[in-house]
Homo-oligomer: A and B are copies of this chain.
């Protein structure tokens, strides 16, 4: 657990209430459900348990969420927000070289490393951020995809990092076009394989190597 962890997510609300009306139940439920996701991934997001932790009957949740899926969806969005926060934090705290081009490269690497770090230090939230909810593509356009198209969240941070590479002349505009998806794929893939997949049991050192060589390969592919 790191300093980037939001305080409101770690604080465990005591399950005692003074007033009959909670006043902020939807947020409280989302918060506790997110804590469940952090502890055990999407499978652990149990409506009844979230209500229990808030100190409210399970039925009360239905005043604020139509069904369990809606609560899980809120948690999923929160997990994406946390991921983006981690990447933002990494950008702010990374020391950069003076050379603008080198600085842009270091920023892209920092963003990628933060993505993988989030997957490994917050596996429950990472898995929840990318979990399936209901049949995929049910509503044609997912809000998540729309969000990505508006370049917000983790995707937006990646987009800006790539733009900075173009601005500093490290990356040509032709190579830049559409490059966010391949880069995202590489970073997401290594995060997934190291966190959940067949590489999860490797020693830390080797996993760091794999992460770094993946980022270097992507960078070389961009700037070659």
User: Which of A3-11, A86-94, A139-147 has 4 or more CB atoms under 8 Å from chain B?
Assistant: A139-147
Number of copies: 2
Count of interface residues, chain A, beta-carbon cutoff 8 Å: 45
Are A198 and B142 also in contact (CB < 8 A) when A182-B186, A190-B185 are?
yes
Contact of A185 among B136, B179, B181, B189 (CB under 8 A): B189
User: Contacts of A188 on B, CB cut-off 8 Å?
Assistant: 189, 192-193, 197
Docked Cα-Cα span, A143 to B30, in Å, equals 38
Can you list 24 A-B contacts (CB < 8 A)? Answer: A130-B196, A130-B197, A140-B201, A178-B209, A178-B213, A179-B213, A181-B190, A181-B199, A182-B214, A182-B216, A182-B217, A185-B210, A185-B214, A186-B186, A186-B218, A188-B189, A188-B197, A189-B191, A217-B221, A218-B221, A219-B221, A220-B220, A220-B221, A224-B224
